[in-house]
Structures are given as C-alpha cells and as structure tokens.
Amino acid sequence: MKGIILAGGNGTRLQPLTFAGSKQLAPVYDKPMIYYPLSVLMLAGVRDILIVTRPNDLPAFQTLLSDGRQLGLNIDYATQDEPRGIADAFLVGADHIRGEQCALILGDNLFHGANLPTLLRRSALKMGGCVLFGQEVADPERYGVAEIDPRGELVSIEEKPRHPRSNLAIPGIYFFDAQVSDIARDLEPSARGELEITDVLRVYLKMGTAELVWLGRGVTWLDTGTHESLLEAGAFVRDTQRRQGIRLGCIEEIAMHMGYIEPDDCRALGAGMGNSPYGEYVMERARLCSAGVLPPLPSEGL
C-alpha cells in the first residue's frame, strides 16, 4: 500500500504563524506536526510515502525528512501550487499510487491509541473499495459526517452540514483501492471550488464498496488546524509523554520497532540531534533494544 500525507494548504486559520512556512512544520510540543501522521502510516506498515505540499515549503520538508532512507522508508514529494481540495491529492499523486491501494492522511491530524495500528492494518487487508473511519464528536458540523442505519451500515456522507444527521465525524485518514485517482479525475469542483474528499467517498458508497470503521473510545483524534486545537494537541502530547515516559510520534523509535532500521541506525539518528532530550530518548531506546530489554511500544508508539 502506498501512502500520501497532504501537507499543503495555506494554513489561513493559523496565520500569522503560517506566514513563514507550512503549518505541518509547526511544533506540536517537541516535534514537527508532520511526525504524527507519518508515524501513523509507518505503524500501519506503509513505507512508500508521498508528501504533498506547497512549492515554497518543499525545501524545508526535504531538509527535515530527506528521502526517508534513514528511517527505512521511501519518501517522495509533490507540490500543489494552490489549495484545490483534499481529493486533489489523488491527482497530484497519481504516478505515486500507480494502480496500488493508497492510504491518505491529513498532515494536521494526530491520532493516539493502543489498538489503532492493528485496526488500520486489519482494515487495509479486508478493504474492498474504500475504508473511512468514524468517531463521535460534540461538534460534527465542523467535519465530514457519516450517517448509519440501525444495523450500523453507512447510508450517507455529508461535508460540514449545518444540521448533521449524526455526531459521527470522519477523521482525516482514509484507505482506497487502485481506482481512486480515476474517480477523483471525474469529480467536479464544489461550490467553494475544491475537489471534496466526501464526493470521492460518495462514489464508493454508491458502488456499495465504502466501509465505515469506528475508531472507538480508545482512540484520541485531534485536528491541529487552529491556534486553540494546536495548543490542546501540544498539551496532550506533553501530558501523555510525562505520564508514560515515552515519546508520541517518535519516528526513529517506530522505524526500529517495525524492523525498518537496526538499533545502531536508530542510535546514530539520536546522536545526530546533539544533546536534545528527544535525541537522548532515541539513543536510550536504541540501547534498550540492543540489550534485549525494550518493552513493546506503549500505545504502539503513536
């Protein structure tokens, strides 16, 4: 399965913070925002990843992540000169997908949960067309909303409805089969001039191949697209890390945990960060792994 991280857009809700660069490079406590969606794809077993971003931001992403080889990944890049909707990622990334299944995750979404990686892998394996995820929220009018019937079957999808038919929001991670680029290519822009991800989902729903998977109460989902939510996400990461003694979204540790790199490689990555607490943590996890005493990642490292 190929992966796409959508890290474009102008981040207007976060201005002036985003005047100087992409919001996905903004810090969420102790690491760049993009580490969190990248860690989700890594834990789902996705290693061939395309990052879609603005042309001006491309050099910064390349400086941060390079080609991914140091993490046992293959990271490539593509640019959007202007925001054209989430579904435009399938057009920009058509050559990257190349007829394979695809996982799309939004670059400003943070997920945390012990069972999430297993849930994602299981969902990808049994996918027939597309998989979207659902989670109950108090303010569904801010999101795409899924409606289900009494049997739990998906019956409708709406984009930011004024009067939601349910409180089941659709988070920013989706799995699609190989025809998603062709479906996106046939879409018409919405009233706001964008290619909507909900329109892609509706095509699969009409074909009877859209499956809704509940994330459940054991998964935390945070959208970091506003100043307030960015602050809340940072506090969540800080508090969880202090309580558990681990680092959420630590891509070096996850790469080692998944067998993408060796402990010595992980240790070298940590050493390259000087005396930062993050780098020291990475080196310590590599040492514990080499000694054979590293426990399983708490909450699967998310």
Tell me which of 11-15, 27-31, 96-100 is least confident.
11-15
Q: Answer whether residue 300 shows pLDDT above 80.
A: no
H or E segment and range at residue 111: strand 109-112
What does the pLDDT look like over 37-51, one tens digit per residue?
999 999 999 999 999
Q: In angstroms, what is the C-alpha Rg of the chain?
A: 19
pLDDT band, residue 297 (cuts 50/70/90)? low
Give residue 302's pLDDT.
Answer: 46
pTM score of the predicted model: 0.94
The bridge status of strand 31-32 relative to strand 27-28 is: antiparallel
Respond yes or no on whether the N-terminal peptide bond of residue 55 is cis (omega within 30° of 0): no
Residue pair 171/158 in contact (Cβ under 8 Å)? The answer is no
pLDDT band, residue 299 (cuts 50/70/90)? very low
Residue pair 144/157 in contact (Cβ under 8 Å)? The answer is yes
Ramachandran region, residue 206 (left: φ > 0; alpha: ψ -120 to 50; beta: rest): alpha
- Across the range 253-260, mean pLDDT stands at 95
Compute the mean pLDDT over every residue in the chain, rounded to the nearest whole number.
91
* Alpha carbon 248 to chain centroid, angstroms: 14
Q: Among 209, 213, 212, 229, which residue's Cα sits nearest to residue 221?
A: 229
Q: Answer whether residue 166 shows pLDDT above 80.
A: yes
What does the pLDDT look like over 103-117, one tens digit per residue?
999 999 999 998 888
Tell me whether residue 192 is exposed, middle or buried, using C-beta atoms within 10 angstroms of its C-beta: 0 to 12, 13 to 18, 19 or more. exposed
- Across the range 77-101, mean pLDDT stands at 93
